[in-house]
Amino acid sequence: MEVYASDVDGVGGRLRDRDEGFRVVEREAFATEPVDAPTGDYPYLVCRVTLHGWDTNDYARRLSDAMGISRERVSWAGTKDKHAVTTQLFSVQGVSPGDLPDVDGADLEVVGRAGRDIYFGDLAGNEFQIRVSDVDAPENAAGVTDALREWGDLADGDAAAAEDGDGDVAVAVPNFFGQQRFGSQRPVTHEVGLAIARDDWKGAVLAYVANPNEAEREGTREAREIAGTEDWQAALDAYPRRLRYERTMLHTLVERDASEPADYRAALEALPSNLQALFVHAAQSYVFNRVLSERLRRGIPFHRPVAGDVVCFADADAPNDLPVPDPDRAQRVSDRRVDTIARHCERGRAFVTAPLVGTDTDLADGEPGEIERAVLDDLDLEPGDFDLPGEFESTGTRRAVQVTTPIDVERVDDADGTDREDDANALEFSFALPSGSYATTVLREYCKVDPLQLT
């Protein structure tokens, strides 16, 4: 994320001064049967869980450990941040309601049963209520809103609706992947994925277990420095027990006396399957963000196509207020069709897209295609590099380059009665985004601060 869509000064501030200041509720899109449905046909128990200060992966591990089952039997639709209050669905295979443990910081409600586990496509979107504290210039928020509306070429009708008492005005932002995709405090997830795509398994391992970051604790930095010497036993002895994923990889390296690429690949494959896939997804996301940044630099529109763009028509199964593109309904835009497709985009029937590069990716033509190829060349990648083993393989897809949402921005008046000093310099943002879009990419435009202040 190297460029802003708006050139108006931001409000400043920071996120997550407390977990309650970042609330996320999933917009669910998963049907269930009653809890007493036959377990033979419906072996998955579905629960709605509100987590206070839990990372989704950590909670899934705590849940599975408490029940004595494999972590792979716990599934969810979207990974949420630790420093937040989040409400989301989980499915657990082969258990009964009475098997579910009480976990501190987790309020669990059994919803029903299902014939399959929950996965990413079962999430329609998320609703956010986010407090930005220590704001420097709250008066700048209105100017940012106006600039984002102009950038997205949004109709005046939305402003009129707000004046009539609706309270929300639609804004558009580049659909960047947020900092969390790459690591909130230590952004290396994409580096692991890029190394995997280049068939550099040892480099991928070192990117994850070595590669110290100044934001980390001193003991962790020292352990990573030892790992960089490739003395795996010494690194394992030095590593804090709380960093269990790194320790899992180091255990594998020690057991195999790592010397071959297969040993390093085995260390990565010792991690949960969703984390293995996340490495490659982060690499794809990094390429996507680079493409969007260059499109912004060149002043190419996001809300309407130019010749050579690949446009996807809207997914008919998505909610009307959270539209997303259907990658299976893609069309390459020719000079002759630009104006026609632009009208579909203006009406929310189609989306300009960029690739999440994989083996099946067809790159765009024209100037958009030039940008995509230049980014891949700079990273020494090509679509065929994602023909990978196991969970690392990816056929790729396409993603909208712009996301639009009605947003409400209000000065905080200490409505929660906490009487905190920073409430006097806080703004509260309320909006919803479709699955896969990041709240921090919206707030990035409003705050214009160091990305780490938005994690």
Domains of the chain: 12-19+125-175+403-454 (no CATH), 31-117 (3.30.70.3160), 185-271 (1.10.1510.30), 276-400 (3.30.2350.20)
What's the one-letter identity of residue 366?
G
Residue 99 pLDDT: 95
- Give the percent of the chain with pLDDT over 70: 94
- Give the percent of the chain with pLDDT over 90: 79
Non-local (6+) Cβ contacts of 363 within 8 A are: 355, 369, 372, 373, 376, 383
Phi, psi at 102, each rounded to 5°: -80, 130
Annotated active-site residue in 81, 122, 385, 423: 81
Q: How confident is the model at residue 156 (pLDDT cuts 50, 70, 90)?
A: low
Alpha carbon distance 394, 327 (integer Å): 14
Q: What CA–CA distances, in Å, run from 109 to 20, 81, 95, 112, 428?
A: 20, 20, 14, 9, 28
The two tokens of residue 313 are 């028509």
Q: What CA–CA distances, in Å, run from 436 to 28, 85, 281, 322, 448?
A: 13, 18, 12, 11, 22
Catalytic, 81? Answer yes
The answer on pLDDT for 353 being more than 80 is yes
Residue 19 pLDDT: 85
Q: How confident is the model at residue 215 (pLDDT cuts 50, 70, 90)?
A: confident
Contact 49, 144 (CB under 8 A): no
Q: What's the mean per-residue pLDDT of the chain?
A: 91
The answer to whether the predicted template modeling score (pTM) of the entire model surpasses 0.75 is yes
The answer on pLDDT for 375 being more than 90 is yes
The answer on pLDDT for 418 being more than 80 is no
The answer on pLDDT for 162 being more than 50 is no
